[in-house]
Structure 1
Amino acid sequence: DAGPQKKMVNPWLHDPSSLVDGGNGQYYVFGTGGWGTKNWPGEPGLRVFTSTDLHHWLRLLPNALASAAQPLWAPEVVPAAGGGWWLYYSVSSWGSQNSCVRLAWSPSLASSITWLERGDVVCSSGAEGYNAIDPAVVRTIEGEMWLLFGSAWQGVQMARLDSSSGKLSHNASALRRTVERNAWGLLNTTATTRPPVVTL
């Protein structure tokens, strides 16, 4: 049961992650539930919309992971090993480095109430220099999975994932910085780090 659905056209969504379910040809887009600030308090969990033609959208209610105590940020949805889907998302508060990238799993995209928590993937407290938010997952030609995350502070980090669990690989003790800010606030790629080649 997908729960109640609300028809919407051209829904407004922040930090979207879009994908198509090859099994049924249905399009899905996941987005931030809110910033938790006065400007946009939002609602707990993550917003989810679905469409058959990319023009007419249905909002799946309740939000994915609606039992969370706060709005969740910047989802990334990818196929999971062994079937189903992995959902990476951020837990943080505005302007804070006390953040985590977390993982959830669902057997289907068709319902927003079937997501099961799988725990933390990577966290930051401020001492690390980076901020554990805004996850993105890429897969290399060789089949390796990599997590990219971060915002401001020491830029974007990269770590290898275990393709069977979706969590950090045992060999991921050292994060690689791929992008950092220079003295003028501009983004530079890090010369010592070569991002993986990804499949399209």
Structure 2
Amino acid sequence: MNSILVRIATATVAVMTLVLGVASPVQAASLGNCNASGATTPCFEQVWSDGVQLKMTFVDLNPSPSSDPTHSFYVLAPQTRAPQGSVPFLHDHVIGDVSRQTKGDESGNNLRYHGYFVLCSTEGLSTGACQPTMTSIPGLGTIPFAATVNGHKLTSADRIESSASSGLLTLFDTGGVLIATTNHR
């Protein structure tokens, strides 16, 4: 199991390097989709929050280290036929309830998010409770990104966190931090 985690960590660093190289912090004339070829920040993608898709603007994919608090940013298998992200693999994102998130830094409402891959755990796979989308990541192999748990989509942070607490999901810390903002409901 440790060699798998080492491979995941190595691949995560490689993937984040690719993403950061594609979306360098350059001011764009108009806000483009982060999935577009040659996209730079700021750019946007859709994210799930409490079962609703919101537009998230990614401001900085490689912020300076900080002691500011972070919010969880989950990356998992697509939850619909239209994935929210395609670089460097098909995926969706989930964040917590945006109405409970406080204002970010002193310059506005930009919040720091810490990235986690949401994977089916060994228990989730062996019991059939977690249905994966097997996702190929160059340099890492095929990973069981979580699609559903007990037949339910994973479109809220609460569902992801409770499924992880019950041992059906593994939250893999990517080590990645980003700064973004969402439209609040």
Q: Same fold (TM over 0.5)?
A: no
Greater C-alpha radius of gyration: 1
Larger relative helix fraction: 2
- TM-score, normalised relative to structure 1: 0.27
Larger relative strand fraction: 1
